[in-house]
Amino acid sequence: MFPLDITQIAGVISARIINTGNQGSFRSVSIDSRGVKKGDLFFALRGERFNGHDFVSGALEAGALGIVLEREVDSIPPEIPVLLVEDTQAALQDLARHNRKISAVPVVGVTGSSGKTSTKDLLYSVLSAKFRTLKTEGNLNNELGLPLTLLRLDNSHQVAVVEMAMRGQGELELLGQIALPDGAVITNIGEAHFEILGSVDNIARAKGEILDYIGEGGFAVLHGDSPYIQREALRCKGKVVFFGERQGMDLWVRDITPVDGGNHFTAVYRGREAEYFVPLPGKHNVINSLAAIAVGLELGMEEGDIRAGLSGANLTAMRLEISNFNGITLINDSYNANPSSTRAAIQVLSETAGRNSRKIAVLGDMLELGDKSESCHLEVGRAAWEAGVDLLVTVGHRARHIGIGAEEAGMFSPQIHRFEHTIEAARALKSIIRPGDVILVKGSRGMKMEEFILSLRENV
């Protein structure tokens, strides 16, 4: 964060100074007393299950040198600056917006129904080959995480890549007001958040909110295979670059060749061809790579730098992490799931296993699908059968329909095992798996499918 003193911060967040304290500048903030570093400005946020005002003393003990509150708290030393605001969350967002404006570096926002984090990681790898790049860490992609990311911006950065998540209408509008992106990437429009938004059409309109913040000098990189994205593109005042599999798009791909756990491919940008390699499995990661290539080109990068950055790409934890233990290959894609990302992960399982290894898919519930839940789970089951999955393990009540879908498509009943809990599934699988098997583990975040992996490793 760019240094600001308490008076400047008070002006930015419309605060009343109730304790001037020692004069000095702040360069970092915290919203969690457990993670406070010396010199932080601590924002006492309120949530459904917590109240930061109860942890002010802990923040001070950890080294916080300033406090932002909604109500006064006793026992704050007189040397500690204290600011009073109506809403600490809104104040945090206001400060983040101000810091973003001060930085004046290009900010690229990434959203989509699936692939946001992977695409953000690919963008970071590509842009870091030329620029000092800031990116969203972990899952800091919402109304709290985005401000925390933007408050890390300082004069050491040349570009920022921020992931922007949404579950309902208006959420990307809020994030856009904070980030003020110069560029936007929409990875795809899929079935995520049916429960809240009700239709793919509504999902597309909600994702399109990010485009309202792209000015005439900005750009949008959009997955053009979706007709909904074609419609939403009209909201962008800047340059639009469509990418995808189909010839005729601004940036399209051909000659995808899996090799060494990754993919060689040819990218064609408005008639100009270039060869690339991404060290990640799955065709969907090739498509995500096109978005990173397009952003690199829009920011003036040379093909050689883009190629170098892409070839060194790494993904955030629990996203298609491939490891081996006791002769078994494990594909950990347990961070989250929706129908499109699960189908893509099943294809990675098929490619990784090839013809000589058993393909085992351990699939948990996909959440937030509303009245589409049953049909979406059935569809994933059909996809598992079509991909030649040898053994299907479902975890959770909803995921039972994945097994039903697979059986209806042609999978034999003995190939399907149904469980309610991850630990139960891991214990049962212990007697079934053998060296040479390839196992995919995937499910929605709420299912905590990583617990299956931990239990499996303990029992095998």
Residues 6+ apart with CB under 8 A from 104: none
Please state which CATH number belongs to domain 321-459: 3.90.190.20
Q: What is the pLDDT of residue 83?
A: 97
Residues 6+ apart with CB under 8 A from 201: 228
Residues 6+ apart with CB under 8 A from 55: 33, 44
As beta bridge partners, residue 162 has 109
Where along the chain do the CATH 3.90.190.20 domains lie? 321-459
Q: Which residue matches tokens 């990640």? A: 280
Q: Which of 207, 203, 205, 237 is nearest to 220 (CA)?
A: 237
The arithmetic mean of pLDDT across residues 381-398, rounded, is: 97
- pLDDT-based confidence at 220, cuts 50/70/90? very high
Q: What is the pLDDT of residue 175?
A: 96
Q: Which of 172, 37, 167, 9 is nearest to 102 (CA)?
A: 9
pLDDT at 103 over 60: yes
The arithmetic mean of pLDDT across residues 143-148, rounded, is: 96
381 residue type, one letter: G
Where along the chain do the CATH 3.40.1190.10 domains lie? 105-311
- pLDDT-based confidence at 142, cuts 50/70/90? very high
Q: How far apart are CA 129 and CA 418, in angstroms?
A: 46
pLDDT tens sequence across 429-459 = 988 999 999 999 999 999 999 999 999 887 5
- Residue 411 tokens read as 């999978």
- pLDDT-based confidence at 191, cuts 50/70/90? low
Considering the chain, what is the average pLDDT of its residues?
93
Q: How far apart are CA 356 and CA 436, in angstroms?
A: 8
pLDDT at 165 over 60: yes
Where along the chain do the CATH 3.40.1390.10 domains lie? 4-87
- pLDDT-based confidence at 197, cuts 50/70/90? low
CATH topology of domain 4-87: 3.40.1390
- Residue 247 tokens read as 């010839």
Concatenating the DSSP letter of every residue in 155-179 gives: TT-SEEEEE---SSTTHHHHHHHHH
CA angle 396/397/400 to nearest 5° reads 90
pLDDT tens sequence across 32-85 = 999 999 999 999 999 888 899 999 999 999 999 999 999 999 889 999 999 999
Listed range (156-160, 317-321, 338-342) with the worst mean pLDDT: 317-321
pTM, two decimals, is 0.87
pLDDT at 177 over 80: yes
396: left (phi over 0), alpha (psi -120 to 50) or beta: left
Q: Which of 179, 165, 42, 50 is nearest to 105 (CA)?
A: 179
Q: Which one is the CATH code of 105-311: 3.30.930.10, 3.40.1190.10, 3.40.720.10, 3.30.70.890?
A: 3.40.1190.10
Q: How far apart are CA 285 and CA 290, in angstroms?
A: 9
Give helix then strand counts, H and E, for the chain: 16, 22
